[in-house]
Amino acid sequence: MTAKNEIVIALLGQPNSGKSTLFNGLTGLRQHVGNWPGKTVEKKEGSFTHGDKKYIVADLPGTYSLSANSDEEIITRDYIASGKADVVCILADSSQLERSLYMLSDFAGIEVPCFLLLNMSDVAKDQGKDINAKEMSDKLGIPVVLFSAPNVKKYDAFYEALETAVANKTVLNTSSLEQKYKDIPDYSEIRNIIGDYKDGNRTGMWLAIKTLEGDLPVTAKVKAELGNEKTAELSSVLDRCEKGIVKAGECKFAWIDELTAGSVKKEKKAAGLGKFDRLITHRIWGKPVVVLTILLERTDISIPLKTAVWKIRILDLEMKR
Amino acid sequence: MKKLSEMKQGETAIVSSVNGDARYIGRITSIGLTPGCKVSIIKNEKNRPLIVFARDTMIALNHKESSNIEVEEARG
């Protein structure tokens, strides 16, 4: 909440999950673009009014996880840890559901009201996927919305989920995930060493799994907080545990599989490359086609003409094949 | 045990281990290629990115790096 009683929403999702489309759809021209302090990472903030409330939206950098491998990831997770956001909107791409839910599983254990937006649900539907959002919502304890960001006229479900998350302070249910973590002996030890310690909105579970993953900033923070004796204990666990991130990843994806198992029905379709995919990944034609696209982008030819040239080119190439 | 980069187009495999530096392992884990994950090889040409389908997603991997991923051959 800002000083002016505005509610702050953070958009969290992997690259290409549709954060920016949603951001633009919500805020229109009421945007402010700058940099995150001291970093060359773009910072986008905007605002909108719904009902009688004013909302501030922060479009966080797209990252694959909440680890500390890049500036973007550090900015994203520090922003969420700062508690500036009243509610986090987590986006996942329904057309690549299992993989894109990794962000949700990586977020699990941070106690901030949140809701899940299953974006590109229209594409998922075309793939023959039937997602039961209600059932997922019951399992997760947060609102889950099937969504399509470009369709601005159908944002009602988004606003409804947002209001529910803010009013009921819906926090993600992590008990079944923690159950899986506990099967990793090293996790249980680390969790015991950490004990009751919490870092703001980051729970002992989140700190423990990040420590197991070998996350340096989190480990340093945890060590600074614990006494010397416990720090030594922690170091000895970490010294002998290898590839903690893989073990943690297995748990997260097992949890995701469980979440989608009953709630997502799929028609069996063999995965393959489309016509265009085959063209741009072609051994000989791939590179020329990509270069051509970029060159056309740089010319002053108007867009409809460009599209036409494009189509002719593709036809041409296909005939040559 | 085989390397993912040695698999042929149309084959299916189960990931058994991922090796490399912490950053690489972290990235591969976050795109879902964890032990036990089923992977279909969509395209594998020499010196070209390896294209695989796993966890509902089409993924292009650096050919050299994908030799760090060990797999068990699977049917179907």
**ipTM associated with this complex:** 0.91
Give B66→chain A minimum CA distance, Å: 16
**Intervals of CATH 3.40.50.300 along chain A:** 7-168
Contact A98 B57 (CB under 8 A): yes
What integer pLDDT is reported at residue A242 of this predicted model?
84
**Cβ(A121)–Cβ(A147) under 8 Å?**
yes
CA proximity to B5, closest of B56, B59, B57, B71: B71
Using CB atoms, pick whichever of A98, A106, A273 lies closest to residue B42.
A273
Say how many residues make up chain A.
321
| Topology, domain A175-265 | Helix Hairpins (1.10.287)
Q: What part of A 87-116 touches B (C-beta under 8 Å)?
A: 95-100, 102, 106
Q: Rounded to a whole number, what is the distance in Å from the CA of A249 to chain B's nearest CA?
A: 6
Is B30 in contact with A272 (Cβ distance < 8 A)? no
Q: Collect all residues with Cβ–Cβ distance below 8 Å to A209 and sequence separation of at least 6.
A: A109, A181, A187, A248
Burial class (CB in 10 A: 0-12, 13-18, 19+), A306: middle
End-to-end CA distance of chain B: 17
The neighbour count for residue A133, using CB atoms within 10 Å, is 20
- Evaluate whether the domain defined by B2-74 bears CATH number 2.30.30.90: yes
Of the residues B18, B29, B37, the best mutation for testing chain A's interface (the one with the most A CB atoms within 10 Å of its CB) is B29
What fold, for A7-168? Answer: Rossmann fold (3.40.50)
Task: Search chain B and give the residue with CA nearest A269.
Answer: B56
Among B26, B53, B60, the residue with its CB nearest the CB of A67 is B26
Under a CB-based contact definition with an 8 Å cutoff, are residues B55 and A253 in contact?
yes
Indicate the domain borders of chain B. 2-74
Tokens of A190: 């680390």
Distance from CA of B53 to the nearest CA of A (A): 7
Whether A304 has a pLDDT exceeding 60, the answer reads no
| Interchain CB contact of B27 with A (< 8 Å) | yes
What residues contact residue A281 under an 8 Å CB cut-off, 6+ apart? A273, B43, B48, B49, B51, B60
- Comma-separated ranges of CATH 1.10.287 domains in chain A: 175-265
Beta strands in chain A (DSSP E): 7-13, 31-35, 42-50, 53-59, 87-93, 114-119, 129-131, 144-146, 264-266
Q: Phi then psi for B34, rounded to 5 degrees?
A: -105, 160
pLDDT tens column, A260-293: 998 888 876 666 777 777 777 777 887 888 788 7
H/E run at residue B13 = strand B12-18
Interchain pair B34, A96: CB under 8 A? no
Are A96 and B57 an interchain contact pair (Cβ–Cβ within 8 Å)?
yes
β-bridge partners, B2: B71
Can you give the length of chain B in residues?
Answer: 76
Please compute the mean of the pLDDT values over residues A32-36 and round it to a whole number: 81
Residue A309's pLDDT is 58
Q: What is the pLDDT of residues A107-166, one digit of tens each?
A: 999 999 999 999 999 999 988 899 999 999 999 999 999 999 888 888 999 999 999 999
Residues A230, A189: contact at Cβ < 8 Å? no
Q: Do B56 and A249 touch (CB under 8 A)?
A: no
A259: nearest Cα among A100, A123, A58, A30: A100
pLDDT tens-digit readout, A164-213: 999 999 999 999 999 999 999 999 999 999 999 999 999 999 999 999 99
Q: What is the pLDDT of residue A237?
A: 92
Q: Is the pLDDT of residue B63 over 70?
A: yes
The size of the A-B interface in CB pairs under 8 A is 73
Separation between Cα atoms, residue A206 and residue A299, nearest integer Å: 50
Q: What is the pLDDT of residue A220?
A: 94
